[in-house]
Amino acid sequence: MAKRNESAMIRPAIQALYAMGCYVWRQNTGRARGVQYGVNGCADIIGLTRSGRFIGVELKFGKNKQQPEQERFQQRVEEKNGIYILAYSLDDITKHAEAIL
3-state secondary structure at position 73: helix
Q: Could you tell me the pLDDT band of residue 2, with boundaries at 50, 70 and 90? A: very low
16's enclosing H/E stretch is helix 6-19
Q: How far apart are CA 7 and CA 9, in angstroms?
A: 5
Q: How far apart are CA 55 and CA 43, in angstroms?
A: 9
Q: Is the pLDDT of residue 75 over 50?
A: yes
The tens digit of pLDDT for each residue in 14-60 reads: 999 999 999 999 998 888 888 888 888 999 999 999 999 999 999 99
CA 32 to chain centre: 22
- Across the chain, mean pLDDT equals 90
Sequence letter at residue 6: E
Percent of the chain whose pLDDT exceeds 90: 68
Residue ranges per structural domain of the chain? 6-96
Structural class in CATH, domain 6-96: alpha beta
